[in-house]
Structure 1
Amino acid sequence: MLYQGLENFQHGVDTATGILITNLGTPDAPTKKALKPYLKEFLMDPRVVEPPPARWLWRLILNGIILNTRPAKSAAAYGTVWNSEGPGAPLLNIAQRQLDAIAEQVRPHFQGRVEFALGMRYGNPSIAHALQELHAKGCQRIVVLPLYPQYAAATTASTFDAVTTELQTWRWLPELRFINHYHRHPGYIKALANSIREYQIENGQPQLLVMSYHGVPQRYLDNGDPYHCECHATSRLVAEELGLSKDEYQVTFQSIFGKEEWIKPYTDATMKALPGLGIKDIQVICPGFSADCLETIEEIGEENREYFEEAGGEKFGFIKCLNDRPDHTEALADILLQHTQGWVERDNFDAELDSIERQTSKDNAKAMGCPFEDSGSNSPHTKNPLLKRDYFWFW
């Protein structure tokens, strides 16, 4: 069996709480070459595409058809949004700003050491890489916050799979807390409502506010996935915060893929139908996306705008995602603080007693003949940040 530990492990080093922020991910570049491995990793995830009993059939379709046609189309789409939020992929740039803002708001609440890392479910930096980064910094307690407000097996559970797959190779498992949704969190709801109000101060109130979420196949809902219900719960709470009636907002689902039925109504079909119903002034927001990305900037802001206008729509407003708005990152920081209560670095940390305990651990290790090298620091990552794997054979 292969297990991962710290190279040059030392007894008595200081430990930390690790905070891992994750999101879906992005290709390394808006090119066909970069899109092919990214899409393969994404579409081979059984949480994303629950395969038929004959798994080989999906592999054949994916490798024989989809990966030979889709990468070029996706690369062209990514090219339209690349550098829109700074050099590179918008999702990655925004995620880094979110992480920095969250860290700034969380750190003052910790008396001991707290470390932060960013990981993407697909592409780079990977979740495995982010966890190894926290491991190398001595994090013995890790809380994972996937930036998916509404739980879905295809996103949240897939993230859990990636986290636990990596942890299965660790020699010393950390205490782990995993946040699987925050669709009703008051700070998140208020941030959404605030962003809508601010947009409408500048652009007026529409006939209809459309809240568009990423879709999932209908059979996922039929098999018990709560995603659909949580999307509607978020929308209802935002509408209540804004004082909207049921006729003043609508929930839709976008990014449909493949031929099977997905949860409805579809965003694109709605855009094409609304003008014929006399609704020609709308605004669209995507509450399920924590950061602007291809699916919001291009799919909603460009593609669905065209559908609406070509059908006779006159005024289309796209409200940006919450991104790194202060009220959004404050809500995320609050969620993390709720989930780190009781951990030593957060509560009841005594630096002097901690130092004494660590020195005692060192002394005991020496007395028992454990290998020990005094690196001049109590942090394992200052000695050697690299991780090693070692084999143990059992008879």
Structure 2
Amino acid sequence: MSAQLSPAHSPASNEKIGVLLINLGTPDGTDYWSVRRYLGEFLSDPRVIETPKWLWWPLLNLGILSTRPQKSGEAYALIWDREQNDSPLRVITKAQQVNLAQRLAGENIVVDYAMRYGNPSIRSALDKMEQEGCRRILLVPLYPQYSATTTATANDKAFDALRNMRWQPAVRTAPAYYADPQYVAALGDSIRDGVAALDFEPDVVLTSYHGLPQSYVDRGDPYERHCHETTRLACEYLGWPAEKMKVTFQSRFGPTQWLTPATDTTLEELPKQGKKKVAVLAPAFHADCIETLEEISIAGRESFLKAGGEKFAYISCLNDSTASMDFIEAMVRRELSGWL
């Protein structure tokens, strides 16, 4: 009679499950070369820039990367976490990873984080998980709304790394969560609490999403629809009239047509419409970063007040708040169903 392995001595008993939180990325410093390396990787991604390489490469390397790093470095310097000498995005994403690891402690799960561009790289995180014995890995791109420029390219990079692994783990990818009821509740509560903490009542609350070229949407990217759905659901959750919240898009780049209305022009036009008190949040980001802390909270505030606005407030991203981490934990546990 053949011997049977007990569960305690099964080859799978020592295998671990990996959970990899993935965010966009950040330079390692505010100096020219650190920012140039980061922008070079980011703007070379064909998922982000769909212009033919033969046309885009000289524009990028002979033009954009000669001047833009200095300007971007100055913007990063304004929001850099001096205490930890790091970017807020990496500080917050690491805090999310630590928090989730504590919540999943004792369940044979390895939780790590990585950046699509910059450090720590997705490849390094997956290599580390392989070395720690993870035979099953859940990829969790921290983008509420799906876009090929965010969720898809994060997964692309992970699968590029997996191609070079002799012993590949089983892999799952968490879906976009723009309409997840628990995410909507966490977002809605953060808006309610953010507004309640103000010393004024906003005439309008802007939900500013990162922009996308209109052509990407025309070719089938669902991002714009997901953004509007997130705002609609949050507004319904709060019980607010639809006109209380407005969708706008920020971070335009280049001469092509991008999604409208633009956040910057909207902030300049609102005072002319008699709306001189505004609160802004950025639901496309699960962690505060340069696009929220500098582009909205600093530059957006300045342009709004200069245009005649009277009161401006930025409402932070969900970051590693209790509600945020409750949602991330619930999402991860759901996506690990059958593995735990």
Cα deviation, 1:247-273, whole Å, max 9, x if unaligned, reads: 111000000000000011000010011
Alignment of 1:377-392 (within 5 A): none
Is 1:158 paired with 2:156?
A: no
Cα deviation, 1:292-336, whole Å, max 9, x if unaligned, reads: 110000000011111111111001110011110010011011111
Q: Which structure would you say has the larger Rg?
A: 1
Cα deviation for residue 85 of structure 1 reads 7.5
> Which sits farther off after the overlay, 99-108 or 322-331?
99-108
Alignment of 1:332-371 (within 5 A): 332-343=328-339, 346=340
Partner of residue 134, structure 1:
129
Match of 2:187 among 188, 192, 205: 192
Partner Cα separation in structure 1 for residue 43 and residue 95 of structure 2:
28
Cα deviation, 1:188-211, whole Å, max 9, x if unaligned, reads: 111111111212222143110100
Partner of residue 391, structure 1:
none
Partner of residue 21, structure 1:
21
Contact residue 30 and residue 73 of structure 2 kept, 8 A: yes
Partner of residue 356, structure 1:
none
Cα deviation for residue 12 of structure 1 reads 7.6
Is 1:94 paired with 2:92?
A: yes
- The 4+ residue runs of structure 1 with deviation greater than 6 A are none
Give me the TM-score of the superposition, normalised by structure 2.
Answer: 0.94
Q: Which amino acid aligns with 1:153?
A: A
Cα deviation for residue 101 of structure 1 reads 1.2
Partner of residue 124, structure 1:
119
Partner of residue 171, structure 1:
166
Q: Which amino acid aligns with 1:183?
A: Y
Contact residue 85 and residue 94 of structure 1 kept, 8 A: no
Partner Cα separation in structure 1 for residue 170 and residue 306 of structure 2:
54
Cα deviation for residue 173 of structure 1 reads 1.2
Is 1:301 paired with 2:294?
A: no
* Unmatched runs of 5 consecutive residues or more in structure 2: 1-10
Partner of residue 322, structure 1:
318
The root-mean-square deviation of aligned C-alpha atoms, in Å, is: 1.3
Is 1:251 paired with 2:236?
A: no
Is 1:45 paired with 2:45?
A: yes
Give me the TM-score of the superposition, normalised by structure 1.
Answer: 0.81
* Unmatched runs of 5 consecutive residues or more in structure 1: 1-10, 347-395
Partner Cα separation in structure 2 for residue 15 and residue 106 of structure 1:
16
Q: Identity of counterpart residues, as a percentage?
A: 43
Cα deviation for residue 246 of structure 1 reads 1.4
Match of 1:207 among 203, 217, 220: 203
Partner Cα separation in structure 1 for residue 144 and residue 203 of structure 2:
27
Q: Which amino acid aligns with 2:71?
A: K
* Residues paired across the two proteins, number: 329
Partner Cα separation in structure 1 for residue 122 and residue 300 of structure 2:
32
1:84–1:338 CA distance, 2 compared to 1 (3 A): farther
1:12–1:184 CA distance, 2 compared to 1 (3 A): closer
Contact residue 195 and residue 279 of structure 2 kept, 8 A: no
Partner Cα separation in structure 2 for residue 12 and residue 311 of structure 1:
63
Partner Cα separation in structure 2 for residue 196 and residue 44 of structure 1:
35
Partner Cα separation in structure 1 for residue 318 and residue 83 of structure 2:
13
Cα deviation, 1:320-368, whole Å, max 9, x if unaligned, reads: 111100100110111110010111xx1xxxxxxxxxxxxxxxxxxxxxx
Cα deviation for residue 84 of structure 1 reads 6.1
Partner Cα separation in structure 1 for residue 112 and residue 197 of structure 2:
36
Match of 2:73 among 50, 75, 78: 75
Partner Cα separation in structure 2 for residue 84 and residue 278 of structure 1:
39
Partner Cα separation in structure 2 for residue 235 and residue 107 of structure 1:
34
Partner secondary structure for residue 21 of structure 1: strand
Q: Which amino acid aligns with 1:129?
A: S
> Which sits farther off after the overlay, 82-91 or 325-334?
82-91
Is 1:286 paired with 2:282?
A: yes
